Structure 1
Amino acid sequence: MFGIGFWEVVLILVVALIVLGPDRFPELARSAGKLIRELKSLGKELRDEKDHDASGHE
Protein backbone atom coordinates (compact mmCIF):
# COMPACT_ATOMS: atom_id res chain seq x y z
CA MET A 1 0.00 0.00 0.00
CA PHE A 2 1.92 3.03 -1.30
CA GLY A 3 5.21 1.57 -0.08
CA ILE A 4 4.47 2.03 3.63
CA GLY A 5 4.17 -0.72 6.18
CA PHE A 6 1.59 -1.61 8.77
CA TRP A 7 3.30 0.21 11.64
CA GLU A 8 3.68 3.41 9.63
CA VAL A 9 -0.07 3.35 8.93
CA VAL A 10 -0.78 2.77 12.63
CA LEU A 11 1.48 5.70 13.56
CA ILE A 12 -0.24 8.00 11.04
CA LEU A 13 -3.66 7.00 12.38
CA VAL A 14 -2.62 7.59 16.00
CA VAL A 15 -1.18 11.02 15.18
CA ALA A 16 -4.33 11.92 13.21
CA LEU A 17 -6.49 10.83 16.13
CA ILE A 18 -4.47 12.96 18.55
CA VAL A 19 -4.45 16.01 16.28
CA LEU A 20 -8.07 15.84 15.14
CA GLY A 21 -9.61 14.45 18.28
CA PRO A 22 -12.16 11.68 18.58
CA ASP A 23 -15.00 13.86 17.23
CA ARG A 24 -13.54 14.70 13.81
CA PHE A 25 -11.49 11.54 13.22
CA PRO A 26 -14.38 9.32 12.03
CA GLU A 27 -15.46 12.00 9.54
CA LEU A 28 -11.92 12.22 8.16
CA ALA A 29 -11.66 8.42 7.95
CA ARG A 30 -14.90 8.22 5.95
CA SER A 31 -13.75 10.98 3.61
CA ALA A 32 -10.36 9.33 3.10
CA GLY A 33 -12.01 5.97 2.38
CA LYS A 34 -14.35 7.56 -0.15
CA LEU A 35 -11.44 9.32 -1.87
CA ILE A 36 -9.43 6.09 -2.08
CA ARG A 37 -12.42 4.21 -3.55
CA GLU A 38 -12.96 6.95 -6.14
CA LEU A 39 -9.29 6.97 -7.12
CA LYS A 40 -9.24 3.17 -7.49
CA SER A 41 -12.39 3.33 -9.61
CA LEU A 42 -10.91 6.04 -11.81
CA GLY A 43 -7.71 4.02 -12.25
CA LYS A 44 -9.73 0.95 -13.24
CA GLU A 45 -11.76 2.97 -15.74
CA LEU A 46 -8.61 4.38 -17.31
CA ARG A 47 -7.00 0.92 -17.57
CA ASP A 48 -10.17 -0.54 -19.08
CA GLU A 49 -10.38 2.31 -21.60
CA LYS A 50 -6.71 1.89 -22.52
CA ASP A 51 -7.18 -1.86 -22.98
CA HIS A 52 -10.30 -1.29 -25.08
CA ASP A 53 -8.51 1.23 -27.29
CA ALA A 54 -5.50 -1.05 -27.70
CA SER A 55 -7.62 -4.04 -28.71
CA GLY A 56 -9.62 -1.96 -31.19
CA HIS A 57 -6.56 -0.92 -33.16
CA GLU A 58 -5.22 -4.38 -33.97
Structure 2
Amino acid sequence: MVGACHKMMDEVHSKYGSIDILVNNAGITVRESVMEIMQSLKADGCEKMTAVQS
Protein backbone atom coordinates (compact mmCIF):
# COMPACT_ATOMS: atom_id res chain seq x y z
CA MET A 1 0.00 0.00 0.00
CA VAL A 2 2.80 2.41 0.89
CA GLY A 3 4.48 1.68 -2.44
CA ALA A 4 1.28 2.60 -4.29
CA CYS A 5 1.09 5.90 -2.39
CA HIS A 6 4.69 6.74 -3.27
CA LYS A 7 4.05 5.88 -6.92
CA MET A 8 0.96 8.11 -6.98
CA MET A 9 2.88 11.01 -5.42
CA ASP A 10 5.72 10.59 -7.95
CA GLU A 11 3.21 10.69 -10.82
CA VAL A 12 1.46 13.77 -9.40
CA HIS A 13 4.80 15.53 -8.90
CA SER A 14 5.99 14.75 -12.44
CA LYS A 15 2.70 15.91 -13.98
CA TYR A 16 1.84 18.95 -11.82
CA GLY A 17 5.08 19.85 -10.02
CA SER A 18 3.53 20.34 -6.59
CA ILE A 19 0.43 19.84 -4.48
CA ASP A 20 -1.31 22.94 -3.14
CA ILE A 21 -4.09 21.15 -1.24
CA LEU A 22 -4.32 17.53 -0.11
CA VAL A 23 -7.54 16.16 1.38
CA ASN A 24 -7.24 12.96 3.39
CA ASN A 25 -10.55 11.10 3.37
CA ALA A 26 -11.46 7.77 4.94
CA GLY A 27 -14.74 5.95 5.28
CA ILE A 28 -16.55 2.66 5.43
CA THR A 29 -19.06 1.02 3.13
CA VAL A 30 -22.24 -0.33 4.66
CA ARG A 31 -24.62 -2.65 2.82
CA GLU A 32 -27.65 -2.33 5.07
CA SER A 33 -30.95 -0.50 5.01
CA VAL A 34 -31.14 2.96 6.58
CA MET A 35 -33.06 1.54 9.53
CA GLU A 36 -30.41 -1.15 10.13
CA ILE A 37 -27.66 1.46 9.95
CA MET A 38 -29.43 3.70 12.45
CA GLN A 39 -29.94 0.80 14.87
CA SER A 40 -26.30 -0.22 14.47
CA LEU A 41 -25.08 3.33 15.13
CA LYS A 42 -27.20 3.54 18.27
CA ALA A 43 -25.81 0.21 19.51
CA ASP A 44 -22.15 0.95 18.65
CA GLY A 45 -22.03 4.57 19.66
CA CYS A 46 -20.55 5.32 16.20
CA GLU A 47 -17.35 3.31 16.88
CA LYS A 48 -17.45 1.74 13.41
CA MET A 49 -17.28 5.11 11.69
CA THR A 50 -14.78 6.74 14.01
CA ALA A 51 -12.44 3.71 14.21
CA VAL A 52 -11.54 4.08 10.54
CA GLN A 53 -9.94 7.44 11.33
CA SER A 54 -7.55 6.02 13.95
When the two structures are superposed, what TM-score results if normalisation uses the length of structure 2? 0.43
When the two structures are superposed, what TM-score results if normalisation uses the length of structure 1? 0.41
- The structure with the largest helix share of the pair is 1
